[in-house]
A and B are shown apart, each in its own frame.
Chain A
Amino acid sequence: MNEIGTRGLALNEKLIFEHSRTGRRGFSLPELDVPEASLPGELTRDEMDGLPEVSEVEVVRHFTRLSSWNYGVDSGFYPLGSCTMKYNPKVNETAAQKAGLALIHPYTPAALSQGAMEIIYKLEQMLGEISGFPAITVHPAAGAHGELTGMMVIRAFHEKQGNPRRKVLIPDTAHGTNPASAVLCGYEVVSISSDGYLAAEEVAAHMDDEVAALMITNPNTLGLFEKEIVEICAAVHAKGGLVYCDGANMNALLGVCKPADLGIDVMHFNLHKTFSTPHGGGGPGAGPVGVTKELEPFLPHPRIQLKKDHYAWDVNRPDAIGRLRAFHGNFGILVRAYTYIRMLGADGLRRTSEMAVLNANYIRARLEPHYHLPYKQRSLHEVVFSEQNLKGGCHTMDAAKRLIDYGFHPPTVYFPLVVKGAIMIEPTETETRESIDEFCDAMIQIAKESEENPALLKMAPVKTRTRRMDEALAARKPKLRWVKEEKKN
């Protein structure tokens, strides 16, 4: 096979603090053009200890070297399940860096920020059309932040009805953020079991007047469309509950179906997954939330209204839950998602989901003879295998590390928890057939290696600059910052 993972010259690099030499500088500022002022002595700090003194060249080399130790979507195939690591179009970055968008202050008067307000307003409209929800807020900073916002909206709604209710139902396949968000709204979490799909009967059996909401992911984290979703929503609604949908897997449904049409009441989007904004090594993303008409009054501040010929801030919203962050949302991320949707249009979005689902099913077809597939139903944009067929005492983590030697980022591993040694693969729509084939060839080769030479898996990765890390040591003796070593006498 054609192996893309190979050796290269990897440069070592110290911590930036270890480059520091007294008197080196990496900045320039204009001369002070007013008299220098000083603060009372008791308010003024002494010299700042530890901050590095380095030249500009050192800073540039330092971070360039660090970047070379990373693997990004632009480096190669990145099939992390549930994360939707699609290509991030560069035009999004150019758009977001325009001075009129990057440098606008959040307290600029509305009359002088009409362009920014139009982007927010129109993005809300577009997300509404895609999902079917009549009201969208772009306030939340991330998916988990959107969940928290959505669950607070649900709680505020129930309170207004006279009873906040006590419990939230969450299937065992859910992301860990779901229960963590529900608890922050003062709810007790009831875990319900599913067998690939969530059964409407199972949901109905748990429903009573104290259940505030069901939190569901659709397609779920096994990549399966919840085929009883309509009945599930009806069962929840029958007892006065609401249905929250984690929109992490929206990349399977663009232009295909609208979550609001399924009976879902609240859903968050992940703009950094579905709408191509870069993941940034862990953020920032954005987690807009869509809701039904009856929940709109509870959405957080701030909201934008379109008046006759201009946009205005809507300040008179007595039922709003308040704000969950400062200012108007992660606007820089919203600009990128706006740019993406405007370039794709309806046809492009639909094709995105079609190709994402095609790619995932192609991988499934190629790997099913070699890896154990615990759930056989037709999956959508991702597919989950287990470690069952790996030989030689090898586990999912060993296969994942061996993939690195072959030049790929591993899939999501050990999630969802309902599959033992889960290997969760989401290729996205932006990969070529060739890159997918190279990945499948490597996966097949690894399955074979586990039988013939399991040490190859257990030692992996061997081509990276550093090998497997001692995570137990890091947790046992946490060293969370650099400290200047005391001079020895």
Chain B
Amino acid sequence: MAFTPHTDNDIVQMLKVIGANSIDDLFKEIPAEVRNKKDLKLEAPLSESEVLRELQRLANRNATPETHRSFLGGGTYNHFIPAVVDFLTSRSEFATAYTPYQSEISQGTLQAIFEFQTLICQITGMEAANASMYDGASACAEAALMAARLTRRKKILTSRALHPEYRETLATYCRFLEMELIDLSFNKNGETSLEDLQAHLDDQTAGVILGYPNFFGVIENIAPLAPLVHDQGAKLVVAVQEAASLGLIKAPGALGADIVIGEGQSFGIPPAFGGPHAGFFAVRQKDVRSIPGRLVGETVDQEGKRGYVLTLSTREQHIRREKATSNICSNHGLCALRATVYLSLLGKDGLRTVAVQNHSKAEYAKQQISAVDGFTLPFSAPTFNEFVIEAKEPVEQVMARLESNGILGGIPLQTFYPEMENHFLVCVTEQNSREDIDILVQTLGTSRT
């Protein structure tokens, strides 16, 4: 089925108005020798009911929290999404609109983005935030470029405990820009090494990037690092891969961060195999003219009525072309709207409650697992809702045992960190009941047969 409404008669009448003899006539500017000689080789078209059956068949081949007890985190989290979020963000006035360039008929999108920007400032403790980025990883790369712009320096120090896919994205973005990227090691507690930071930090450093919480779930102790970074005139970039943590841990803005970026997926956005999610990007007010991406600002209309517009667009590619702060020309608007609705529903109590539940359940799981023979906690620093476990037996064997019992037990870490043989990352959210955790613990402890 094609979604084209014309009748044969419509087509005849329209061709007559155009003065063309046939549809083919309309394509005559395309040289005949490059036109398709054959029909496209695609499977036969499906009706609506058939295509939904096909998608259901494919959906059934995937494991999710509805089919398995899941303890997967690592940058995408299994949080509860209230019905209101799906309901409101499905409204097609939001979903089928374009970028709000015509402000008079886009005030809904514009005000919602203004609220999103405000909410991001509130949870990060920062002064200005943009309308969202593609995801946490690309926001992290853009933050490094912004630090380089602000300082006119090219050296970026990145914690090895920052999400490995954020680090890889950063490396790709910087690859052709003559930037220097230096890895900072992590210590035996799972925190970024202060000694290593001091060894590499100098007056050529543009920025220092830390995960908070980091990839191991560890809540980095940022406060003492910030003055060291600032003394060298560098920017402290804090990357939040699990935004739900901000209900409980100190706001990065209060700890001296210059740029706070992160992933908003935890705020009402489904995991969807990793996307689309919503990156956020927050800065100090004084740096706002160097921020990448869209910004919405408050103003008034001709009659003095409060309203919102896209603003400070002289930073952007459609005006500045090759001199723009970034090549980004969109945001993840509908995902940012999901986060806005979610945070509005939860409010300050709800966000705190979710964070406390995540932390408490993860602490319970951590204690229970570390009491099982053959499983230990390699790191000692405080964590939020995920933590690293080291197994005495091969991690593949552990995962296989869990999977055969309907459990997605965690993320093996050796792929990302070659030295972390038989380590895996376990995540516990408010969606995991005590029973889920007990069954995980019990299954881990089942002796091999």
Contacts and interface: CB of A to CB of B under 8 A. Distances in A.
Contact of B344 (A54, A164, A473): A54
A444 interface: no
Contact of A332 (B5, B263, B270, B364): B270
Given A72-B95, A257-B36, A354 B131 contact: no
7 contacts: A67-B93, A70-B109, A96-B272, A105-B408, A279-B98, A358-B26, A473-B300
Interface string B86-124: 111011111111111011111111011011011101110
Q: By CB atoms of chain A within 10 A, which of B109, B305, B403 has the most?
A: B109
Given A53-B347, A54-B347, A322-B168, 19 more contacts: A26-B346, A27-B346, A42-B250, A45-B251, A52-B344, A68-B93, A70-B105, A70-B107, A98-B55, A283-B332, A284-B276, A284-B332, A301-B168, A325-B169, A433-B14, A480-B288, A480-B296, A481-B114, A481-B118
Interface string A11-47: 0010111001000111101101111111110111101
Q: By CB atoms of chain A within 10 A, which of B80, B82, B98, B250 has the most?
A: B98
A318 to B, nearest CB: 14
Interface in A251-303: 255-258, 261-262, 276, 278-286, 300-301
Interface residues of B, number: 204
Contacts of A104: 62-64, 271-273
A78 B88 CA distance: 22
Nearest to A377: B29
A358 B13 CA distance: 11
B217 to A, nearest CB: 12
Contacts of B90: 93
A145 interface: yes
Interface in A151-191: 152, 155, 164, 175-177, 179-186, 189
A101 B29 contact: no
A48 B122 contact: yes
A116 B62 contact: yes
B328 A144 contact: yes
Contact of B138 (A177, A262, A325): A325
Q: By CB atoms of chain A within 10 A, which of B15, B95, B135, B314 has the most?
A: B95
Interface residues of A, number: 197
Interface string B330-363: 1111110100110111111111111011011101
Contacts of B294: 282
B293 to A, nearest CB: 10
B429 to A, nearest CB: 11
Interface stretch (A82-90, A236-244, A386-394, A445-453): A82-90
B138 A464 contact: no
Contact of B134 (A64, A325, A380): A325
A44 B249 contact: yes
A152 B176 contact: yes
Contacts of B66: 99-100, 103
B107 A480 contact: no
Given A37-B360, A282-B330, A355-B4, A179 B109 contact: no
A331 B93 contact: no
A30 to B, nearest CB: 8
Q: By CB atoms of chain B within 10 A, which of A87, A278, A286, A300 has the most?
A: A278
A323 interface: yes
Contact of B1 (A44, A258, A343): A343
A69 B301 CA distance: 15
A467 B88 contact: no
Given A328-B275, A471-B299, A404 B102 contact: yes
B183 interface: no
A93 B136 CA distance: 24
Given A37-B360, A53-B348, A113 B63 contact: yes
A326 to B, nearest CB: 4
B111 A321 contact: no
B166 interface: yes
Nearest to A460: B104
A324 interface: yes
B350 A25 contact: yes
